[in-house]
């Protein structure tokens, strides 16, 4: 096999860093000891990789692996290639071929007999597996734009996730991926927030909200049974910016909603989506679904998060083998309902700065919400502008696929974010609104790096700004 030279920005050659994995083993972490969280061990990883590949390929993956005709149309749909048109290793077809060639060599037909004829190939050692890790974790945000633009319907984004899953099983992952997976396995949430911190933060926000509204009737309930809404959040909201929890609580209060947060199972984010680990995906999602069962909530509401929405609303039920029994919706849908039913009143005059909307990959391409956030924004903003392209054709914020937790891939990520920067600049908007926390950080990085005069906001914030609180709280 021809050895590839140092690839894009040296990303392909980023070494495998297992320091925190070693530490996790030494500390005897439960998730490691029980074999849920895999760590890297030198040995016959190639054989294990090939074995996993053969066992895990599903039918949709198999047809995506066989159907590619190397037409190259996917190339211009990918922001990595658009920003680096001199670099063929940035194209979806090239990236997909890195796993496809192995499939051709060991699972498919022609590639097993005459591999060179169909460019079948293999991985030979842990170095090769490490390079593969860099490619599927570091040169792709799994935004699925290529899948939507392939004439054959090859789902390259799914192939990337599949490959990540194989590598995660061997512990051959970027350090950031291991750390976050470890935290989510061990504590049930992505940021290792303890129960004490969680409850105290909620109490703190409740107190600030009571001061702000001048009433003691507003609550942030925890583990209240038989409510209409089970609200689930992103750990980032507890750890770094609880204002969004206060926004939600205020809105629920004014809308007169019966709602609660659960004491366990409150994390709607799901790193299993990014690491390709269906077991982690199942564990986290199941926590949420079982909390809803336990508390007999009528519906599950997910705070604004792209991958969290996709994982909890869609993928999680399949990962966890759990039949969906209750409506599971994004908080934006809840807001839309409140507005349509007149349960909350808003004044768009409170949001005067020009706003544009950034469709998140996991919500627009891998989910169903495209018009709904716009309908909400139309009511709470005075000056709304679309970016181009938008909706399902929008470009990724560049921080998707878990890239924000992988520092080694940041330079390349920011380089290819030029596509996004140009898109944002062209709107002339001051605010860019998004339904995803990851996009908030991804876009913030783009804005800072390309010095754009913009700020990122979320739908909850804009609605809370525009909220007309009745003079007397009736509950």
Contacts with other proteins in 33-92 (CB under 8 A)?
57-64, 66-70, 72-77, 81, 86, 88-89, 91
Which residue, 126 or 162, is less far from other proteins as judged by CB?
162
Least Å from the CB of residue 411 to other proteins: 6
| In the complex, minimum distance from the CB of residue 15 to other proteins, in angstroms, rounded to a whole number | 13
- Residue from 154, 251, 254, 456 that binds other proteins (CB under 8 A)? 154
Q: Which of 150, 134, 61, 59 is nearest to 102 (CA)?
A: 61
Contacts of residue 269, defined as CB under 8 A and 6 or more positions apart, other chains included, come to 189, 190, 234, 235, 236, 284, 305, 307, 308, 311, 437
Smallest separation (angstroms) from other proteins to the CB of 243: 6
Residue 66 beta carbon to other proteins: minimum distance, rounded to whole angstroms: 5
Is the CB of 150 or the CB of 344 nearer to other proteins? 150
- For residue 232, the 8-state DSSP code is E
- For the CA atoms of 87, 92, 95, 99, the dihedral, rounded to the nearest 10 degrees, stands at -160
**Least Å from the CB of residue 321 to other proteins:** 7
Q: Kindly state the smallest distance separating residue 256's Cβ from other proteins, in Å.
A: 26
Cβ of residue 456: shortest distance to other proteins, in angstroms?
12
- Can you tell me the distance from the alpha carbon of 15 to that of 171, in angstroms, rounded to the nearest whole number? 13
Answer for the pair 383, 352: CB distance below 8 angstroms, yes or no: yes
Q: How far is the CB of 20 from other proteins (least distance, A)?
A: 9
447 close to 454: Cβ distance less than 8 angstroms? yes
Interface map 123-142 toward other proteins (x if CB under 8 A): --------------------
Give the start-end residues of each E strand in 399-465: 431-434, 455-458
Among 8, 171, 174, 176, interactor with other proteins by CB under 8 A: 176
Could you count the other beta carbons within 10 Å of the beta carbon of residue 222?
Answer: 16
Task: Give the containing element (helix H, strand E) for 302.
Answer: strand 299-302
Question: Of 231, 252, 266, 314, which one interacts with other proteins (CB under 8 A)?
Answer: 314
**DSSP letter string, 392-409:** GGPPP-S-TTTGGG-GGG
By CB under 8 A, is residue 269 in contact with other proteins?
Answer: yes
209 with 277: CB under 8 angstroms? Answer: no
* Nearest-approach distance from CB 441 to other proteins, in angstroms: 5
Pick the closer one to other proteins by CB: 45 or 442.
442
Task: Evaluate whether 141 touches 81 at the Cβ level (below 8 Å).
Answer: no
* Binding segment toward other proteins, per CB under 8 A, in 220-228, 250-258, 437-445, 467-475: 437-445
Could you tell me which of 435, 426, 460, 418 has the C-alpha nearest to residue 362?
Answer: 435
Between 45 and 356, name the residue whose CB sits nearer to other proteins: 356
> Scanning residues 320 to 379, which ones bind other proteins (CB under 8 A)?
320-324, 327-328, 354, 364-368, 370-371
Relative to beta strand 229-232, strand 259-260 is parallel
Subset of residues 155 to 174 that bind other proteins, contact rule: CB under 8 A:
155
Tell me the closest approach of the beta carbon of residue 354 to other proteins, in angstroms. 8
Contact code string over 284-313 relative to other proteins, x by CB under 8 A:
-----------------------------x
Give residues 377-396 in contact with other proteins (rule: CB under 8 A): 382-393
Q: Does 152 bind other proteins (CB under 8 A)?
A: yes
User: How big is the site for other proteins, counted in residues (CB under 8 A)?
Assistant: 108
Choose between 45 and 134: whose C-beta lies nearer to other proteins.
Answer: 134
Is-contact 124 46, C-beta < 8 A?
yes
Q: Is 369 exposed, middle or buried (0-12, 13-18, 19+ CB in 10 A)?
A: buried
Other beta carbons less than 10 A from residue 62's beta carbon: 13
Q: Does 422 bind other proteins (CB under 8 A)?
A: no
Distance CA 124, CA 1 (A): 9
Task: Measure CA 99 to chain center.
Answer: 22
Residues 200-229, interacting with other proteins (CB under 8 A)? 200-201, 204, 208
């Amino acid at each position: 096999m021809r050895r590839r030279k140092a690839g894009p920005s040296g990303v392909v050659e980023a070494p495998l860093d297992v320091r925190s994995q070693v530490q996790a083993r030494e500390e005897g972490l439960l998730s490691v000891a029980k074999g849920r969280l895999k760590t890297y061990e030198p040995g016959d990883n190639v054989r294990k990789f090939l074995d996993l590949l053969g066992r895990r390929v599903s039918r949709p993956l198999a047809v995506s692996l066989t159907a590619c005709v190397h037409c190259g149309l996917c190339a211009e749909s990918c922001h990595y290639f658009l920003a680096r048109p001199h670099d063929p290793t940035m194209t979806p077809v090239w990236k997909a071929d890195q796993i496809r060639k192995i499939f051709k060599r060991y699972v498919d037909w022609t590639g097993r007999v005459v591999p060179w004829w169909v460019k079948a190939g293999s991985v030979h050692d842990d170095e090769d597996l490490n390079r593969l890790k860099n490619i599927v974790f570091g040169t792709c945000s799994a935004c699925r734009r290529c899948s939507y633009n392939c004439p054959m319907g090859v789902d390259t984004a799914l192939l990337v996730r599949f490959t990540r899953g194989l590598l995660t099983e061997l512990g051959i992952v970027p350090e950031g991926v291991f750390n976050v997976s470890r935290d989510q396995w061990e504590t049930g949430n992505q940021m290792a927030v303890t129960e004490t911190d969680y409850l105290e933060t909620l109490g703190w926000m409740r107190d600030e909200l009571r001061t702000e509204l001048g009433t003691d009737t507003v609550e942030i309930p925890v583990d209240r049974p038989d409510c209409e809404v089970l609200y689930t959040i992103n750990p980032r909201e507890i750890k770094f910016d609880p204002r969004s929890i206060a926004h939600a609580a205020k809105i629920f209060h004014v809308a007169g909603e019966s709602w609660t947060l659960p004491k366990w199972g409150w994390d709607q984010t799901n790193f299993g989506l990014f690491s390709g680990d269906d077991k982690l995906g199942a564990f986290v999602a199941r926590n949420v679904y079982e909390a809803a069962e336990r508390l007999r909530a009528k519906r599950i509401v997910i705070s604004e998060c792209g991958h969290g929405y996709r994982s909890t609303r869609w993928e999680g039920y399949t990962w966890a083998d759990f039949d969906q029994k209750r409506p599971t919706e994004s908080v934006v849908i809840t807001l839309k309902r409140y507005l349509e039913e007149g349960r909350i009143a808003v004044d768009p005059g409170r949001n005067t700065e020009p706003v544009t909307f950034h469709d998140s990959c996991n919500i627009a391409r891998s989910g169903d919400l495209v018009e709904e956030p716009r309908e909400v924004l139309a009511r709470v903003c005075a000056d709304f502008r679309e970016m181009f392209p938008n909706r399902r054709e929008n470009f990724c914020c560049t921080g998707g696929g878990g890239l924000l937790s992988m520092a080694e891939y940041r330079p390349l990520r920011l380089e290819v974010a030029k596509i996004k920067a140009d898109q944002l600049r062209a709107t002339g908007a001051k605010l860019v609104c998004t339904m995803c926390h990851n996009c908030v950080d991804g876009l913030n990085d783009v804005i800072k790096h390309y010095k754009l005069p913009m700020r990122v906001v979320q739908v909850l914030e804009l609605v809370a700004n525009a909220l007309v609180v009745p003079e007397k709280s009736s509950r």
